[in-house]
Structure 1
Amino acid sequence: MFQQILDPIAGSLLLSALCAALPLALLFILLGVFRVKAPKAAIASLVLSLALAVIGWQMPLDQALSATAAGIFYGLFPILWILVNALWIYKLTVATPWFEVLGRTIRSISNDLRILAILIAFCFGALLESLAGFGAPVAISAAMLMAAGMKPLKSAIVSLLANTAPVAFGAMAAPIIALNGVTGLPLQDLSSMAGRQTPFIALIVPLLLVFIVDGKRGVKQTWPVALVAGAAFGASQFVTSNYLAVELTDVVAAVVTVAAVLLMLKVWQPAETVGVGGSAQTADVPAMVPPGGTLSGAGAAAESTTAAGGPRRSAAGTDAAGIPTDNTRPEPRQIWFAIAPYLIIIAVFSIAQIPAIKAWLGQVGSVTFAWPGLHIEDSAGKAVAATKFKLDHFKSTGTLLLLSGVLTMVLYKISASQGLRIYRETLVQLRWTIVTVTAVLGLSFVMNLSGQTTTLGFALASAGGFFALLSPLIGWIGVALTGSDTSSNSLFGQMQATAAEQTGLSPVLMAASNSSAGVMGKMLSLQNLAVASAAVGLDGAEGTLFRKLIGWSLALLALITVLIFLQSTPVLGWMVP
């Protein structure tokens, strides 16, 4: 039996905490200063944490290695099992003409760039974040905004800022599931708490988008639809994360918001329409395109169909750079087929939540076991919960996504060989992400099980009630440097919960805050900035984007910090589950 030591370095909590922080400091310095690739930085930090665990915290070597293996396993299942299958579904849609139909459907709705910023970057970007993540929402929405006539730099800025609202529940809630895994706090409590924080940011983001596109005039003329979008998204996030299924939070929010915006545009239009170059036209120019109509500059290629009823790919309707310019509105049947994968996901997850089915899946597909070789007690002599695993292989999010992908293949008539080829391509695309995530989870488990995280938590607890203001900053730094809310939660989730317990704050509140506040740093992460720059053809523009966005990132961080602080007091304490 290994018992964690709170102050192993010279009997000093301060010195021990400084040593415990070294793996995290190394990770940040390698990523942020020396710009070392994330996989190498994560592996180096893992090795240092292992050395500290064995030499400093006196953890037996076999248990330290077993803790590493446990972290790698948890990184593979359920985290990467979710990410791989989610990205696979997205790539299945891209491999068919239906993804182009989906993009054209959105572009056909309005010729007002302010409205398109909300629909493409905010709504469609959230839908992609719910499945693909890892920069895909930023890259695709930025290209689509450019196709609509927005300037490259502005397209990148809008897409990066819009990617803030859905990240905490992105990739089928992988960040919240990771937070549950490293802290042992109830998944539903963490989901509910995050769902009572992120909607306030969602309410503001559409207003910021129209301000970036068109300044004060944009806010003055389009605030009604921006508020509708923000309110619909925020309310959907709250309801789904608190009362339905955490995995579906972003999918439901994106679909509901698109519907709300479309209904709004049927009864209301802005006084002017702002198109290419920021030029304004009076409202008598229709912002809505009638079925079968085209927008200015749209490709005039006629639509043909395959024998299966789907649209046939054509080189027509694209510019020299390959960006689609065909904005004709598809037929209703084609629109339904284009959104079918997302409807399938909603249906599969909804059926899995039916009490009888949920109970059956839990009985036949759930195994709880103690991880081999781990026999650990905390400094108070209590067994550490993280040594036990619950494997929900049938009802896990990743498995349900795999089923959704198979159903999508059947609907789109994708052959088994093509589906397997795309799955293999997905694994190849994510190969370095897999290394990074498993290394970060290994680092997290070693720090947690050796006692390094507990030492850090006790040291931070000396800040007292001030920790409620410090907690969001920790999450923000984690996401800005690692580029992943999932990785940040894995690194800091347990530390946040430990510090909260020592200061008399709610562990659920502080752990969820790591995720909710952390997403404000996503727009500044190097990997997201690089993706955005490449997507709009501005190689080397990362520094410019960083300078344009850091003010917005810090402002949003300050806003949610105030909210979290109030939730830690009697003023808004009633919001904590």
Structure 2
Amino acid sequence: MTWVQAYDPLNNIWLSAVLAAIPIIFFFLALTVFKIKGTVASFLTVALSFLIAISIYNMPVHMATEAAGYGFAFSFWPISYIVITAVYLYKLSVKSGQFTIIRTSISSISNDARIQMLLVAFSFNAFLEGAAGFGAPIAITAALLVGLGFKPLQAAGLCLIANTASGAFGAMGIPVIVAGQVSGIDPKIIGQFLGTSLPLISFTVPFLLLMILDGMKGISQLWPAALVSGASYAIAQYLTVTFIGPELPNITSAIFSLVVLALFTKVWQPKEAMLLGAQQADKTEIPHLTGKMIAKAWSPFIALTLMVTIWSLQPFKRLFTEGGVLANTILHIPMPNLHNLVLKAQPIVTEQTPYAAVLKLDLISATGTAILLAAVLSIIMLKIPIKAALETLRETMQELAKPIFTIMMVLGFAFIANYSGQSSTLGLALAATSDYFPFLSPVLGWIGVFLTGSVTSNNALFGSLQQITAEQISVLPLILVAANTSGGVMAKMLSPQSIAVASGAVGLVGQEAELFRFTLKYSMVFLLVTGIVTFGQTLFI
């Protein structure tokens, strides 16, 4: 039996929107005011959303239950799979004793922690976002910063905020490609339009990171490095997205900014170095490292780069498409009481449309498998005993148990909100603001990413609504579809899913509320700027 979504259960879109927002508001207050642990807050949020779905939206209990189960399953595959393998790879590097050499090699570029932060949190983070996405960049780079002596909260917060520069074009441009699919606009055109504004945000991020880490002192002492890092990234991002497409901006920008900043440090260093953690304890002269030593130490991350790059190439992807040699390695499991039984209705879609619910188990083509293979190669290259490798895996699983539970709850809530129609109610309420909607359009994208933790999922959820609303209020659809992406990017730094991933990577389990508060104000400022820019674009385009 099918069930049709109803987006205004109280016959007043604003009252319905307030009701739909209750789980989100509760989650905000739980983390910021009541300081409830992420595991408890996320569980209660799921319970609230479930009760609203069955009692107010009249969603059948078995469908609401299965929507939550679908979210739980999706949280394991592919998200938790990626997080576990990424953190495992990092821990293998530490277990082998090679991370000391990695730290020393980074210090050989500059012993200043602020420059190290720009190299790792900004540039390397962007590279991993472009190649893998879905939490792996934050998990790996935050763990690297902790290994370099940064405090866990500081490391996780910096990496979450730095991810703002690269979120729109993550995982080889998938967010923009999906936006094009649901809106009917060429993804390359969407990418080019984003290229007129996002490089400006990217340019400011290194300065913001310095401000967060070391205040005005950091800006006054390190502005040349921030200028070089931000400008090189922004220029490469603009040129790539404008003349090539949305697939490669993160890769080219990250590599270019990394190389340019590293070369710049050969001719310029701050007069006063900022030392952290292990660097303060050990101020001895940096030992000479041979190329072979450095290559061996970095081999896990070289293997990671190689694997995720191969996994991102179109010839490799074609192996798994219909008719491909490895197509049978992808399992599609329909959720029996949910798949195509929930019907989307107007005005979210032009006519009643079945809402698919299929769990995709891509056993080989998953990004997590690429990272796992990199870990296996690392065990071989670093000659880590099998017993030690298995013990490291066990430790990783134990440490990530609570973050994975939080991710599971967050995705359960998101899927209930999506399948019950609660998230669409919020979207329609914002769309009802008419002339003010261009300013609020990025807020819709922000809500989408906060709910799902993914810019890609956000575009799949609200991309069509943005396009339909733009036509209704006589605004160029391209502007609002692009705003859905750029606004969504601003929520990645405090999405519950991202917070859980970062907390697990640096050992902040139970302190998610602190990390949430750390990133909240920056997300709000970036969102405000995005709203102003979008509104301005509708006036002049």
Which residue in 1 is equivalent to 2:145? 141
Larger radius of gyration: 1
User: 1:367-401 deviations in whole A, cap 9, x for unaligned?
Assistant: 44532112111224522344244443321211221
How far apart in 2 are the matches of 1:408 and 1:439? 32
In structure 1, the residue matched to 2:318 is: 359
Residues in 2 aligned to 1:73 and 1:28: alpha-carbon distance in whole angstroms: 24
The TM-score with structure 1 as length reference comes to 0.72
**Corresponding residue for residue 259 of structure 1:** 259
Amino acid at match of 1:46: V
Question: Could you tell me whether the CA contact under 8 Å between 1:98 and 1:338 is conserved in 2?
Answer: yes
Tell me, yes or no, if the aligned pair for 1:474 and 1:518 is still in contact at 8 Å: no
| 1:83-232 aligned within 5 A | 83-111=83-111, 115-119=115-119, 121-123=121-123, 137-138=141-142, 141=145, 144=148, 160-161=157-158, 163-166=160-163, 173=170, 185=182, 189=187, 192=191, 196=195, 198-209=198-209, 223-232=223-232
| Deviation per residue, 1:144-179 (Å, 9 max, x gap) | 367xxxxx8xx9769845642225757x95899799
Change (3 A) 1:428 1:336: same
Change (3 A) 1:6 1:560: closer
Task: Find the residue that maps to 1:260 and give its secondary structure.
Answer: helix
Query: Mean alpha-carbon deviation: is it higher for 25-34 or for 560-569?
Result: 560-569
Q: What's the counterpart of residue 411 of structure 1?
A: 381
Give the whole-Å Cα distance in 1 for the aligned partners of 2:365 and 2:500: 32
Aligned partner (choices 474, 477, 485) of residue 512 of structure 1: 485
Which of 468, 471, 482 is the equivalent residue of 1:501?
468
- Flag the 1:556–1:454 CA change in 2: closer, same or farther, 3 A: closer
Instruction: Give yes or no for contact 1:122–1:206 (8 Å, CA) kept in 2.
Output: yes
CA distance in 2, matches of 1:529, 1:360: 33
The secondary structure found in structure 2 opposite 1:273 is coil
Task: String of CA shifts for 1:103-142, please: whole Å, max 9, x gaps.
Answer: 1111122355654453355446667887756677457536
TM-aligned CA deviation for residue 94 of structure 1: 1.8
* Alpha-carbon separation, structure 1, partners of 2:90 and 2:3: 45
Residue of structure 2 in register with 1:71 after alignment: 71
* Secondary structure class of the residue paired with 1:77: helix
Alignment of 1:267-346 (within 5 A): 268-269=267-268, 273-275=271-273, 327-346=286-305
- CA 1:65–1:418: 2 relative to 1, 3 Å: same
Residue segments in structure 2 that go unaligned for 5+ positions in a row: 472-476
Could you tell me how far apart the structure 1 residues matched to 2:485 and 2:233 are?
19
Alignment TM-score, normalising by the size of structure 2? 0.76
For the Cα contact (< 8 Å) 2:442–2:485, is it kept in 1? no
Tell me how far apart the structure 2 counterparts of residues 244 and 344 of structure 1 sit (CA, whole Å). Answer: 26
- CA distance in structure 2 between the aligned counterparts of 1:95 and 1:179, rounded to whole angstroms: 38
Report the CA distance shift for 1:336/1:568 in structure 2 as closer, same or farther (over 3 A): farther
Paired residues of 2:146 and 2:506 also in contact (CA < 8 A): no
- Check if 1:428 corresponds to 2:398: yes
Structure 1 residue 521: deviation in Å? 5.2
Matches within 5 A, 1:548-559: 555-559=525-529
Distance in 2 (alpha carbons) for counterparts of 1:2 and 1:333: 62
- 2:26 aligned with 1:7: no
Q: How big is the shift at 1:182?
A: 12
- Return the offset for 1:98: 1.8
Aligned counterparts of 1:183 and 1:42: Cα–Cα separation in 2: 32
Identity score, percent: 28
Aligned pair 1:371/2:335, yes or no? yes
Distance in 1 (CA, whole Å) between partners of 2:439 and 2:420 is 27
Preserved contact between residue 485 and residue 518 of structure 1 (Cα < 8 Å): no
Equivalences, count: 512
Q: In the alignment, residue 397 of structure 1 is paired with which amino acid?
A: T
The residue correspondences of 1:463-502 to structure 2 (distance < 5 A) are 463-473=433-443, 486=453, 494=461, 498=465, 501-502=468-469
Instruction: Give the corresponding residue for 2:233.
Output: 233
| Matched ranges for 1:393-412 at <5 A | 393-412=363-382
Residue 347, structure 1, aligned to residue 347, structure 2: no
* Structure 1 unmatched ranges of 5 or more: 147-151, 278-296, 299-316, 572-577
Q: Is the 8 A contact 2:125 2:138 kept in 1?
A: no
